[in-house]
Amino acid sequence: MIADLQPSHRDICYSKYADDLTAVIPAAISHLAVSEFRHINDWSATNKLLINLSKTKEMIICRPGNRAKPTFPEPITGIEQIHIIKLLGVTPSDNISFAPHIDNTLCSVS
């Protein structure tokens, strides 16, 4: 069923795993984030599925060392913005640092 969920724009990429979905929206079209979330909500309603908003997160990733101050899109209403996320056992941060992943790994093995 989830195989029929396709991004609304050709530059948006979905990563699907079991019942999890990650949408990657490039900065050039970040203004489409709200409409893409609406697109996903519409698909889930059509397929009689519920999105758990308490588990839904938004993370804006910035290239480290970028001297120009980035312009961030408006946050999606009702969605928590985070700075670190765990995806399939890997924990990157919003500045593309894997220090949180290394810290988590070292804590779990000690």
Q: Are 2 and 22 in contact (CB under 8 A)?
A: no
Name the residue type at position 74. E
Three-class SS state of 99: helix
Per-residue DSSP letter, 15: E
Three-class SS state of 63: coil
Over the stretch 45-76, which tens digit does the pLDDT of each residue have? Answer: 999 999 988 888 888 777 666 666 666 777 78
Predicted local distance difference test score (pLDDT) of residue 7: 94
How many contiguous H segments (helices) and E segments (strands) does the chain have?
2, 4
Q: How far apart are CA 43 and CA 63, in angstroms?
A: 32
The better pLDDT of the pair 87, 35 is held by 35
The better pLDDT of the pair 65, 39 is held by 39
